[in-house]
Chain A
């Protein structure tokens, strides 16, 4: 025992100076805004909160690993470069492993780890002062001590072990359904001595589930139908409602939106001159894939390697554009080798964020500090995506926003028509060649031109999409020293990180298809878990693992680990059936709980991690806009196709553009399309979206944050298009019998009925505003100018009618600004 301890001490003393710089990488400070931090990321504190009473067993995964990852791994973890004292605390065994070296199982006093965390000697105490890490608290120390006493057993990190179906618990409370989701949630609540909330009222339920499955609010008739069916049989009504919502095309549009954030989908290059980049076909494919319930494993295969199927279908090729969604610069200023490097890194970042839930890109300069991903692992993954047969930079103003390689995907009708035109063109050409007379050849020439025009027109409507394509000869890939594109290190071959299951290759050289298959292997511990967690997050506002972009050692601890594993196993066993997973989630009683609580309960569990109530949170920017368009009757139902530009304040593009680009809004129905079709300029995305937390789409985002700011209030109060929509809703309201109007308006916007008090507040507001607009007819005319009336317009011309319409418009706008309107209760 003495020998290794001596080694440990000596090297620690010898390297004390080095620790300072190594730790600069991961210094943890007092978070100056703890409130903010807790909203976004959770750390080991959560594990500490849930630590067991002192007499129970300490769990390595739950209690110890998050703690030592935070406090120790920066110097005693996976990164060989920054490792101190030849000690790894992330591994029990091996030359530098912790057991029988710094940890003597069963004997804290003989364990250097215990001595060094518990000493009063500032010089000796770990973590060292210059690391800026807080010393371990008494409770944390005691956890480590008890863990060593109990044998210092290491467990494989939970997220890196394949999920196995856990036993489904039997909670005492039997009022909930016997679905496994409910059993796991209820069991956890009972362990904490908490009661679940009662079921939400049917109006809240129909609004919640319609938003969650389609991104839109329910219409009045949908509410009525549901209420009637619910009265009859709540369970059947609920299930039928869910089935019906999932079968709607709007379901795919809504599900796609989350995916598009994750893969940083946008309509421009995102660098330098920020040229148009045509990703339309990919976006439409994502929508269709969700609507067709394409199994998630295929969804993944198509995107990573769709081009490598023996005879790829159109969808498979289009999906491979996943590899073309990265930011890209246009030629002229950057060096192509550097651009190539950046593109590939960006591609890997997307793959690892979306499919692995890991921050693999951290290893581009050095071994990962917290997860067992070496720098070589990074470049081995990099090699899969390095071999693209595409220039690393786009041309200036690429035609149709397409950069080679791209393909055409004509419909059968288009293909037939093109073939027909081609043969007609050939025939005319032959006639021209044979023609002797000037007059005749003139006629023929103009006929030829006419046919050409027709062909161009048909051809112009054909879908084109950038695709992934391998070079015929594999480009050699090298480790880049310190992550510098032009400093080549060791040559690497394609491969996957060693801590994950081995890669099987079909041919001599591992292909992206092999990689795709590796991802969806049942043994791969991450792919399905990460996906299931994100789908869960869509319905509860926060994932079972809160850090849905990071399942590594520094990621969040799952709130319901068994539930996550259960859903994951079911998901893969169902054939990666997304709709079935989604249905299982929304069918649960846990999902159906009422979301009101006492302020103290909200404060105790602000993010509703324990699920003792329904989740209540603000709708995303797209849902808020789409709701306004839908309830006012303006929403266009048109699906797919080129992105559209709803109006935005003047000058935004010009203020940032390198090319003097001016934003020109679309006209007509195009401006009322669902927000998923809105044109996304990365340099300046639409403010109606970004003000409400939509990301720029220049980085992969697995979860949006939700803030509440005065700029959001200004947007919802003053956006001219939103007020116009309020006017349309007012006009619809005025078509109702007078006594029904307040109820109609309130119910249209909130799916609830107003109570007497709410009606009274609105009535006095209406009365006051009517008087106001009667005395200010010019103002009333201004409000009414953009409102299109369905019925005869004469009545709206007289001042009183205009005052009435203006007052109702402001009433509708008031309802659009209610907290309950922008929130999912």
Chain B
């Protein structure tokens, strides 16, 4: 197509034509067409996953039930027995020592080591919800209306007793930093669904109701580890540009940018003709993608076209940029635009002390917006192939940390069991899976390790977790790591 001696190409000529348009002040977006052919050339030629499996979507090992994921990460560890895992008989144990037969001398954190373990029953009321009659806490009135869509896993468990490794394990499959996050694995394994937006977007809430112990986040939670960094999550900012460096700097308007990119494209194309390195064409394509993102991202984050009814459904915080509510709405807009993995982080669940008032505040943050998100996805026809996952890095102890009255109590970290729920994306609604003992302390039936949840999520997305691998440090690395993990087929619709 290109002669190495002759730098001016058909693309170059098209760019010259654009120059005339620029001078008449109508140059927007016209270089794009010229670059389209380059884009298609430089896109990765990804082979199909398995021979004879050509009908499957790219990267899939079997027919997927879900196309995309919205992961609502409740950082800090929400209290399962105050929210989901109903233990009706605990009042009679109030302030009694947790029986040693239950605690079994398990390791605890440095914060409650050596203390007596006095039982704090929940002060919140539970009621049956939906046709399925699932027990749910009074703290989640809106979400209770969605009970028939939810699949609770009460037997979640993890290896980590502390936040940092716990979140790292939940996000990357390993406590040890340096592994790719789940969203990065999906971007790597399944490729991109859209041309104008990242595959993997992360939205941390900018504020939250809980006032105690707000744990930090780390960019490794959405990092690409040893995978190529193009697979890393793009964190949307609540202040300034949603995507870093998205806006043209001061003094540069869209016309100037377009005009500059046209010359840049001509020069890069000329250098490709001389040097021959296909990487130069990738640079041209990425500069054009950047230009398209300058339109597609603001269009995505502009919610002015949403109906008043929709906005009201997400609750009062919808007006505040960076709120969990706003991020839920953005998540729906991203799902519509086929962002593959959308991850919200909502902090403030680490209630070592004063749990009741702080938990109430946290639930006010998330209850209505989460419920609205499910409704909104459903009415856009997106819920069936969008998997919504709601989980923290671990649960909390039945025994109290700090002051203990019926109204005031705190709870320490508890990795041995906790509750997560999934909705949509091929999962059965209105069901519970797994059982804990009467203290929500040990699992007595069907344990689901974080790895099992990962394997199950991958399965629903069409991936055999044991075959999504990447060679690094001499191993074919996997999201689910080296320990055994299983797909929880019992929850699949």
Contact = CB atoms under 8 A, between A and B. Distances in A.
B8 interface: yes
Contact of A40 (B44, B47, B218, B471): B471
A141 to B, nearest CB: 19
Contacts of A595: 275, 277
Given A29-B466, A758-B270, A272 B474 contact: no
A378 to B, nearest CB: 14
B229 interface: yes
A359 B473 contact: yes
B245 A335 contact: no
Given A35-B44, A711-B244, A768-B22, A656 B204 contact: yes
A32 B252 contact: no
A29 B482 CA distance: 14
B474 A555 contact: yes
B491 interface: no
Contacts of A699: 176-178
Contact of B188 (A36, A555, A618, A710): A36
Contact of A707 (B229, B264, B466): B229
A359 B474 contact: yes
A768 B19 contact: yes
Interface in A644-666: 649-652, 655-659
Given A24-B484, A362-B473, A810-B260, A272 B245 contact: no
Contacts of B176: 699
B38 interface: no
A431 interface: no
Interface stretch (A230-238, A416-424, A597-605, A635-643): A597-605
Interface stretch (B131-139, B282-290, B355-363, B392-400): B282-290
A494 interface: no
Contacts, number: 325
Contact of A723 (B162, B252, B470): B252
Interface in A749-767: 757-758, 761-762, 764-765
Interface stretch (A293-301, A445-453, A687-695): A687-695
B251 A779 contact: yes
Which interface residue of A616, A682, A718, A825 has the most chain B CB atoms within 10 A? A718
A655 B244 CA distance: 13
B278 interface: yes
Contacts of A331: 110
A818 interface: yes
Contact of B470 (A24, A31, A335): A31
Interface residues of A, number: 122
A187 interface: no
Interface string B233-265: 011011111011111111111011101100110
Contacts of B70: none
B46 A333 contact: no
A554 B264 contact: no
Given A683-B219, A713-B289, A714-B293, A708 B282 contact: yes
Interface stretch (A434-442, A520-528, A545-553, A575-583): A545-553
Interface stretch (A174-182, A217-225, A780-788): A780-788
A313 interface: no
Which interface residue of A27, A273, A650 has the most chain B CB atoms within 10 A? A27
Interface in A16-49: 21, 24-37, 39-41, 43
Contacts of A707: 228-230
A651 B238 contact: yes
Given A329-B164, A683-B216, A696-B223, A705 B472 contact: no
Given A655-B238, A768-B23, A814-B264, A602 B276 contact: yes
A36 B470 contact: yes
Given A336-B110, A785-B250, A758 B466 contact: no
Contacts of A757: 7-8, 270
A549 B216 contact: no
Contact of A765 (B215, B247, B250, B260): B260
B243 A40 contact: no
Interface in B263-313: 263-264, 266-268, 270-272, 274-280, 282-284, 286-287, 289-290, 293-294
Nearest to A370: B474
Contacts of A768: 19, 22-23, 259
A696 B220 contact: yes
Contact of B256 (A708, A772, A785): A772
Interface in B187-241: 188-191, 198, 204, 206, 214-220, 223, 226-230, 234-235, 237-241
B450 interface: no
A814 B260 CA distance: 7
Given A705-B228, A710-B289, A806-B251, A819 B280 contact: yes
B271 A27 contact: no
Contacts of B98: none
Given A27-B476, A333-B163, A658 B214 contact: yes
B128 interface: no
Contacts of B206: 651, 655
Given A555-B474, A705-B229, A596 B274 contact: yes
B467 A656 contact: no
Contacts of A369: 475
Which interface residue of B191, B244, B282 has the most chain A CB atoms within 10 A? B244
B270 A32 contact: no
Given A649-B244, A707-B230, A817-B264, A769 B256 contact: yes
Interface in A88-109: none
Nearest to A353: B473
A651 B107 CA distance: 37
A423 B173 CA distance: 60
A599 B260 contact: no
B111 interface: yes
Given A272-B164, A332-B110, A336-B110, A761 B267 contact: yes
B188 A655 contact: no
B469 A486 contact: no
A813 interface: yes
Contact of B275 (A718, A723, A782, A825): A825
Interface in A797-817: 806, 809-810, 813-814, 817
A719 interface: yes
A601 B226 contact: no
A60 to B, nearest CB: 18
Given A359-B473, A708-B286, A810-B256, A596 B216 contact: no
Contacts of B238: 651, 655
A27 B217 contact: no
Interface string A703-742: 0010111111111011110010000000000000000000
Given A649-B240, A713-B286, A776-B253, 11 more contacts: A21-B484, A335-B107, A595-B277, A596-B277, A707-B228, A714-B243, A718-B252, A761-B267, A769-B259, A810-B252, A819-B284
Interface of B: 4, 7-8, 19, 22-23, 44-47, 49-50, 59, 107, 109-111, 113, 161-164, 176-178, 188-191, 198, 204, 206, 214-220, 223, 226-230, 234-235, 237-241, 243-253, 255-257, 259-260, 263-264, 266-268, 270-272, 274-280, 282-284, 286-287, 289-290, 293-294, 413, 464, 466-476, 478, 482, 484
**The 4 residue pairs across chains A and B that have the minimum distance between CB atoms:** A554-B474, A783-B251, A699-B178, A658-B216
20 contacts: A26-B475, A27-B476, A32-B46, A32-B190, A41-B472, A362-B473, A371-B474, A599-B278, A616-B277, A655-B217, A683-B219, A684-B218, A710-B286, A710-B287, A723-B250, A768-B23, A769-B256, A810-B256, A817-B264, A818-B267
